[in-house]
Structure 1
Amino acid sequence: MKKVDLYYDLVDRAAMIYHRSLKTDYLDSLLLAACGIIHEDYDSRLDDEDIKEMENICREIYSTEFLNEEVRLASQLLIAKAFKHIGYSLDLMTPDAVNYLIAAAVCHRFRNKKISILDTALGTGNLLQAICNRMDVDPDLFGIEYDWRLAQLARALANLQGNAIIIYYQDALRDLIEKVDLIIGDLDGYDVADDLVLGSKLYGKGVRYFPYLVIDARLRNLKKNGIFIYVVDNDFFSHPGAPVFREEIKKKATFLGVVTLPQSMFHQQHGGKSIFIGTNALKKNHQTIIMTINDTEKNSLAAAVDNIVRLVDMF
């Protein structure tokens, strides 16, 4: 953790230079600092003393060998500070235990393979980077994010880790041309408006729950025998439109299983989440497997990894 702490301290110092000198909020300051570190090119509004300090910070960063995962973990702490500063909910950040679970499953399923991955709810890109940093062959990375600042921060943090990424700055329900091997996403549970213009059968049948709509929409972006892994609320199958969603999806995909995660992985006020796994390959007579990992279960994290790996190995 010493390297993580060092990287955090260096980038935080850089962000505070922008925050102090330009009066930008911490999130924008972090973005400016990250871009400055990547390009070693600093905002012309900084005075000579601040530029000298930025040069010293960059010199120390580039003279120290940091692993990508150390950079990601430090970035996660920096993002948490930024979110607190601007009033964003920390629920927007996928817990790192969940990142680890999904990364372990993906790396197991696609070991020694070159794949493409799309995060349909990119945010700052932490889940996508956690997967990328563990894979033995660098994947092609894509993301969808509607919040401009989060999209820019995701790009900068990916570049700090040396990972190239293509980000589509758009609503998650809009059409996309990319075809990928794996689609992931930590999906917010809410109902969309009634006046959207969508070419969606589900929407036309009155379904408004965002996760149902986005899972259906993104099936078009999976290559043959592609896999999707989503983080969803525990009440995923209890929303209005669930029967319509099931009926429509089973025509073009197979739900492999759902793993309910330990409540201890999430904030107390959160209702808990599950990992939802499926494929666009149609498997006859497959019964969706439901698994629950309890807080009381010994080595619950290891148990969750084992169960998720079993699910992806079914296909």
Structure 2
Amino acid sequence: MSESTATETVYSVLDRGAQELQNIYGMLYLEALSLMGENLRTGSVEQHLTAEATKKLNGWLTETNELSGVTAEEYRKAMQLAVLKGMREATQPNHAMTPDAVGLFIGFLTEKILSYDAAQSPQITDLACGSGNLLTAVMNQVSKPAIGTGVEADETLANLAYVNARLQGKQAEIVHDDSVKMQIDSEADIAVADLPLGYYPDAEAASGYELKAEDGLSFVHHLLIEKSIRSLKAGGFAIFLVPNQIFQADETGSLHSFVKNSSMIYAFLQLPDTMFKSKDLAKSILVVRKHQPGIQPPQQALLAELPSFSKEASLQDMTLRISAWFDEHLSS
């Protein structure tokens, strides 16, 4: 079967099953989706339902038996479609998904960086992993057997991330916790994050951070940048999706100082404005490398405006130029 057919079939099974479980339990679609995702992973109905409901769900699950060799990316895309549907039903500020093209581009950057890393089983972390879409999209593009860690404070999203990773066969630990508060002992090779924006509500928990606000509440995206960089091994990279103006606001003097003192800025790649509802919401990809003795920063960070992802020739040309730039600065 073609990729689109496999993805659509898996999505259809997930969607119908989630709707059925939603009606039975009176829960949100996203909550029911995690249950149906687990059913799909195991190939059986894990809930204690009536014989009629169990027969119905099992009938849908058998539709996937006709599929052979469904890839991790096909499972990810099917889950992505279902999660997007659920988010339209119960939109919350922390319920948003990284655009697929952006996730794939971050995966390309991750693979390029790891091709120069000696780690045979690189550790990839996402301290704001949501439903696990960005983390698994990146892991799917890495040629080495990566080990993932995702942390998510929202229980519904953490459950979805867990099921998402398992359904794709990823070696990934998903933790339901507050990244700002929790202790992170591992030293990651790569940290990725589509940073949530806004204020962090617990001033006491933020008090131990260099990027805490002098007065009032701190920016959660600042705290997660600090936590992500601190979670890296020496010489490790962090790839963040950030607002275009992140270093230009009045409050970001301390952020610029922290990034400069803890790491080296390798790239700031502005995404096409057409991807966003307004220019005020536009974002860029920020790539930084944690300091390590003996590693010199680039004389000039790579600054670029990415073309529309729909313009294949222009995007391919830009990708080749970015790849060549990283080859030059990672091989030295």
**Shift in CA distance, 131/298, structure 1 to aligned 2, threshold 3 Å:** closer
Give the conservation status (yes or no) of the 8 Å contact 1:261–1:304. Answer: no
* Paired residues of 2:104 and 2:137 also in contact (CA < 8 A): yes
TM-superposed deviation, 1:269 = 7.4
CA distance in 2, matches of 1:23, 1:275: 39
TM-score after normalising by structure 2? 0.86
Which whole-Å CA distance do the structure 1 matches of 2:133 and 2:325 have between them?
Answer: 23
Q: Which amino acid aligns with 1:279?
A: R
Q: Identity across aligned pairs (percent)?
A: 25
Are 2:151 and 1:148 aligned?
no
- Cα deviation digits, residues 98-122 of structure 1 (max 9, x gap): 0111111112222494211001110
Tell me the equivalent position of 1:176: 184
Shift of 1:75: 0.9
What is the number of equivalent residue pairs in this alignment?
A: 314
Once the two structures are TM-superposed, the CA of residue 63 in structure 1 deviates from its matched residue by 4.1
CA contact (8 A) 2:239 2:285 kept: yes
One of 307, 312, 315 as aligned partner of 1:301? 315
1:149 and 1:90 mapped to 2: Cα distance? Answer: 11
List gaps (5 residues or longer) in structure 2: none
Does residue 105 (structure 1) correspond to residue 106 (structure 2)? The answer is no
- Once the two structures are overlaid, the 10-residue window that deviates more, 161-170 or 193-202, is 193-202
Return the alpha-carbon distance in structure 1 between the equivalents of residues 314 and 158 of structure 2.
33
- Residue pair 2:45, 2:57 contacting (<8 A) in 1 also: no
Cα deviation, residue 193, structure 1: 4.3
* CA deviation after TM superposition for structure 1 residue 35, in Å: 1.8
Residue 303 of structure 1: how far off its partner (Å): 4.6
Distance 1:119 1:194 in 2: 21
Specify whether residues 189 and 211 from structure 1 end up closer, same or farther in structure 2 by C-alpha distance, changes over 3 A only: same
Contact 2:13 2:60 in 1 (8 A): yes
Match in the other structure for 2:265: 255
- 1:118 corresponds, among 110, 125, 134, to 125
Alignment equivalent of 1:58, drawn from 40, 43, 61: 61
Does 2:226 match 1:222? no
Equivalent pair of 2:268/2:302 in contact (CA under 8 Å): yes
4+ runs deviating over 6 angstroms: none
1:201 aligns with 2:210: yes
Contact 2:127 2:193 in 1 (8 A): yes
Length-normalised TM-score, structure 1: 0.90
Answer yes or no: is the 8 Å Cα contact 2:103–2:134 preserved in 1: yes
Greater CA drift, 30-39 or 87-96? 87-96
The alignment yields a C-alpha RMSD, in angstroms, of: 2.5
Aligned counterpart for 1:7 among listed residues 7, 10, 15: 10
Matches within 5 A, 1:269-284: 271-281=281-291, 283=296
CA drift of 1:10 comes to: 1.4
Q: Which moved more, 1:127-136 or 1:264-273?
A: 264-273
Contact 2:276/2:282 (CA < 8 Å) preserved in 1?
Answer: yes
Aligned to 1:266: 276
CA shift in 2, pair 1:93/1:27, >3 Å? same
Residue identity opposite 1:196 in structure 2: E
Query: Contact between 2:152 and 2:177, CA under 8 Å: does it hold in 1?
Result: yes
Deviation at residue 138 of structure 1 after TM alignment: 2.1
Separation of aligned partners in 1, 2:227 and 2:26: 41
Structure 1 gap segments, 5+ residues each? none
Check whether the contact 2:247–2:255 (CA below 8 A) recurs between aligned residues: no
Partner of 2:145: 138
Alignment partners' CA distance in 1, 2:261 and 2:203: 27
2:305 matched residue in structure 1 = 292
Query: Which AA in structure 2 matches 1:217?
Result: K
Aligned partners of 2:238 and 2:288 also within 8 Å: yes
